[in-house]
A and B are shown apart, each in its own frame.
Chain A
């Protein structure tokens, strides 16, 4: 016996349960009123409970109730708030459906939705009502609903067997499993029949029909048993869950797994349902496997396969598609990969002798430790409806004809030469032909060709000719050998060819994915990713693609990305929005909003949806399974690429933030110093003057006033620089180009620097032939002023400054040089950096002047460089392009 201390719950298990509970708590709670068939009083019970809840003050509304004109039921609805139904026009008649948008907008605590298995009118958002209910639950609204046992997907077959009528409207078992509460409404069959006779369920006329067809005592008992058993199973399961949580005993089994093999046959449905039941009672997870043998499937088979897979998914299976020539080998491989202990296969039909029987033999032989279950076909009435249960011939009649004609033709051609080469040689020629045939035709025609070859050889060549009889034993052996060898060769090469085709397809798929991944990884922005995605999907699926992204606030963009190859209309946009918010695929070929033009797939992000991809196939071609799988693979690749770019963006932005933080600090330090120095001067000196106006000598006060003036000018320059810098950085600098005389600009700069240039002999050298240039006068003037001021500021008094203008090729070159100490050699490249200041530089600079000059010059598409002249001193060279110029000697032509 284990001590209590050791029977603590498995933490992973607890976590899983917690997660499940959490998920549930965000969603609305689902309560199902469950019964064996119509008329047991589910709706009545639901309404009674709703009234009780309403009486307690809970916000209950009626989403959809079918009263079936039953008086008692109708009375119960009175007094409850009813959401008006939505009217849908369909082929001239008006149908009424539940208005899901109105319910979501009303947002009650509980909504009543009758008849969970109902199929909505075409044109509704979802094909089925249970999908409406799931969406309502997702929105945090509780739902009360009603359901009969025959409508459960996994029971539909059995019910059909019992009652003889096919159940069309089924709901996936998963919704039953996910219900928070199941309330069984049970009355005895006798009582139900009594109610029926009293006309409490249907009107008299319908009652009689119903009693004759469906409501037979035997049927009802069976249905009742089924309903009660399902509920019991559920209770049993709940107890087990509870035990797992509490770790009451060690009765917990290690996770079992079973796999079920399916094919494009309607029989697979029974296999799937059976697998679901077994896995449910065993508490095992289950995987449904389809082995793609690359046979060409007919449209019907494709659809059947799609249905089978969908059913499996709905019933909670994981669906795996794999390729392989041998089904048994593939199944065993998957079983090992998935760590499954059981394999379920369908029992082969008696008439089909070929593959299915072999499959079971193969499985038996190779599966060693695995359990193999063979599921019998349920003799469902639906079987009669499905024609052509035999596998379709893989080769068309044309191929057979071709094979026969070719062999006969070859025989005819050889006929005249038989004396020359001998009749035995002819057999080799025919043999060669037959062994080449599989290149063009399937195994069937090849075998036929072998037979025809053998017979025609016998008839036309083997003596006695023109009879099928053979005179000597050797020849009869040869004829028999011919047939055997031809058949074997033909079949073998057919198999090789098939294998090759599978490999090619697999290769094509892999290389398509590889190409996409490669393209995506070389895309460097979100736009590029989308462009790549659109072109790849277009290329491999021959489809138009629309990409609609979500924005940073989590809202969906109001139009498709410009790189899209089609743009959804308003209606389709609504579908895309639904997909975006519900993160489920919808649109054409799905059960949700199937009237859309295209299929829309969600791109789910970590926190909010990233967007939606719409795929519109050309010529209304439906995708095969493989293609659909590939497309979904594509979309998940694209999604992660978009997510990657999004993260990159975030990263880039944080780098920018870090950079601007650094600049901010530098700016803060520099500016606070630069501002405080002149302010301190102004405050200090003016205080002196205010406090002791008489104590200061007149000439001294003049000096002090001068200081104030200088400080103010310095402040003014600093502010001007900062404003220019701000203009540059905000990208607001757009030069207003106008014809300018460079002489005029330099003259103006020098004039504004009159004071600063005192003590710096300045020479200006401008040749007469410099033309007018299109410039922004103010910006270039500021740029040159900064350069010249820089030269004056960082050279000792007495240093010469030379300004030289020349026109070289198509550029106006302005050089500002001095014969001072020059720039520090190691810093030449850094002089234009923001806040760069030469070590030991003169005070009064802001570290911005040259940066601004560079910015203004570059705004004119010009360049600036700095160097130390060989003869000593620094030189700054500005080059401005002369794209358009007017000769300065424009003579008075006007």
Chain B
């Protein structure tokens, strides 16, 4: 709830939408402006790159299927000089593109068709990471409490023992709470760059972790699987 007030702070964050579809632009305008953001539009990749510089947005929503430039190219161009959070919009069949984008520095992604609630949650998460990176030592989701400074994990009132690798994995997810992390990124961060292709490690360790922290490992509520891409740690703001 307090997340909402943060995102919709007076004056609102400036968001640049780069999309060539008029209907999607209209939908985003309605959704974002009614939530207090101020929205700018670009209808091509080139215009998007220019406006990313001139309008100084705090968040960019980037469509991958642009008429002039490939979305990934646009992202790379922007990343040459800016750290602004980028939320990528794409169609479902383009998993490969999504991974390319995330690896190229996109903060999150959303597949079309999307729910507006989902969109707003992603926007808030992306903005929060920009404004307050890792500000709290204690992280809470559902009945799970993780104290990053004391390196303790509690589920309800019971303390949970995690191996070093499991803890490193969980801590990584918490530091990026709400954001999708690719297998490659997780492997590089937890196991090191030489393990970037060994996806069986993430599958096995996420499985172990879920057994320990989820109520029902077959129906996870804390660590969510992003089909074909990676994992995301659920944040509380998502609760209805």
Confirm or deny: A859 has a beta carbon within 8 angstroms of a beta carbon on chain B: no
How many positions in chain B have a CB within 8 Å of any CB in the partner chain?
Answer: 25
B118 to chain A, nearest CB (A): 13
Check B29 for interface membership: any CB of A closer than 8 A. no
The answer for the CA separation of A772 and B199 in the assembled complex, in Å, is 11
Q: Could you give, for residues 703-735 of chain A, a 1 whenever the CB lies within 8 Å of some chain B CB and a 0 otherwise?
A: 000000000100010001001000100000000
Partner of B220, one of A712, A747, A781, A888: A747
User: At the interface, yes or no: A117 with Cβ under 8 Å from chain B?
Assistant: no
Task: Contact check, B113 vs A743: say whether CB atoms are below 8 A apart.
Answer: no
Docked CA distance A864–B81 (Å): 52
User: Contacting A766 at CB < 8 Å: which of B218, B220, B228?
Assistant: B218
CB nearest to A732 among chain B residues = B93
Question: Which of B9-17, B33-41, B70-78, B200-208 is the interface stretch?
Answer: B200-208
Contact with B along A296-311 (1 / 0, CB 8 A): 0000000000000000
Q: A744 contacts which of B166, B183, B203 (Cβ < 8 Å)?
A: B203
Q: Which of A723, A747, A748, A781 is most buried by chain B, counting CB atoms within 10 A of its CB?
A: A747
Please tell me which one of the listed residues A739, A748, A751 contacts residue B203 in the complex, with CB atoms under 8 A apart: A739
- Contact call B218/A738, Cβ cutoff below 8 A: no
* A890 B220 Cβ-Cβ under 8 A: no
Q: Is B191 a contact of A894 with CB atoms below 8 Å?
A: yes
Tell me if B163 counts as interface (CB < 8 A to partner A).
Answer: yes
Closest A residue, CB atoms, query B200: A739
B93 proximity list for chain A (CB < 8 A) = 723, 727
Residues A890 and B227 in contact, CB atoms below 8 Å apart:
no
Q: Which residues of A contact B207 (CB under 8 A)?
A: 741, 743-744, 888
B165 within 8 A of partner (CB): yes
> Is the CB of A429 closer than 8 A to any CB of chain B?
no
Structural contact, A890 and B200, CB atoms closer than 8 A: yes
- Tell me, in angstroms, the Cα distance from A96 to B102 when the chains sit together: 73
B residues 163-201 touching A (CB-CB < 8 Å): 163-166, 183, 191, 199-201
Nearest opposing residue in chain A for B223, CB measure: A744
Q: How far is the CA of A481 from the CA of B204 in the complex (A)?
A: 108
- In the complex, how many angstroms separate the beta carbon of A726 from the nearest chain B beta carbon? 10
Task: Check: A750 CB closer than 8 A to any chain B CB.
Answer: yes
The answer, yes or no, to whether A740 is at the interface (CB within 8 Å) is yes
**CB-CB nearest in chain B for A778:** B228
Question: In this complex, what residue of A is CB-closest to B190?
Answer: A894
CA distance A743 to B113 in the complex (A): 26
Determine the residue in chain A with the shortest Cβ distance to B163. A892
The verdict on B238 contacting chain A, using a C-beta distance below 8 Å, is no
In the complex, A312→B115 CA distance in Å? 89
In the complex, residue of chain B having the shortest beta-carbon distance to the beta carbon of A782: B227
- A748-B227 contact given A743-B207, A743-B217, CB 8 Å threshold: yes
Closest chain A CB from B240 CB (angstroms): 13
Determine whether the beta carbon of B200 is less than 8 Å from that of A778.
no
A776 interfacial contact with B, CB 8 Å: yes
Given A738-B199, A739-B199, A746-B218, CB of A777 within 8 Å of CB of B204? no
Interfacial residues of chain B within 30-55, with CB under 8 A of chain A in the complex: none
In the complex, whether A412 has a CB less than 8 A from a CB of chain B is no
B145 part of interface (Cβ distance < 8 Å): no
- Whether A772 lies near B165 (C-beta < 8 A) is no
Nearest neighbor of B204 in chain A, beta-carbon distance: A890
Contact between B228 and A777, CB atoms less than 8 A apart: yes
Binary interface profile of A, 374-416, with partner B (CB < 8 Å = 1, else 0)?
Answer: 0000000000000000000000000000000000000000000
Sample of 10 more A-B contacts, CB < 8 Å, known A738-B199, A764-B218: A739-B199, A739-B200, A748-B225, A748-B227, A766-B218, A772-B200, A777-B225, A777-B228, A892-B163, A892-B166
In the complex, the 10 A-B pairs of residues with the closest C-beta atoms, listed nearest first: A739-B200, A778-B228, A890-B204, A892-B163, A886-B200, A777-B228, A741-B203, A747-B218, A739-B203, A739-B199
Residues on A facing B (Cβ under 8 Å): 712, 716, 720, 723, 727, 736, 738-741, 743-744, 746-748, 750-751, 764, 766, 772, 776-778, 781, 886, 888, 890, 892, 894
Could you show 8 A-B contacts with beta carbons less than 8 Å apart?
A716-B113, A738-B199, A741-B206, A750-B219, A777-B225, A886-B200, A888-B207, A892-B205
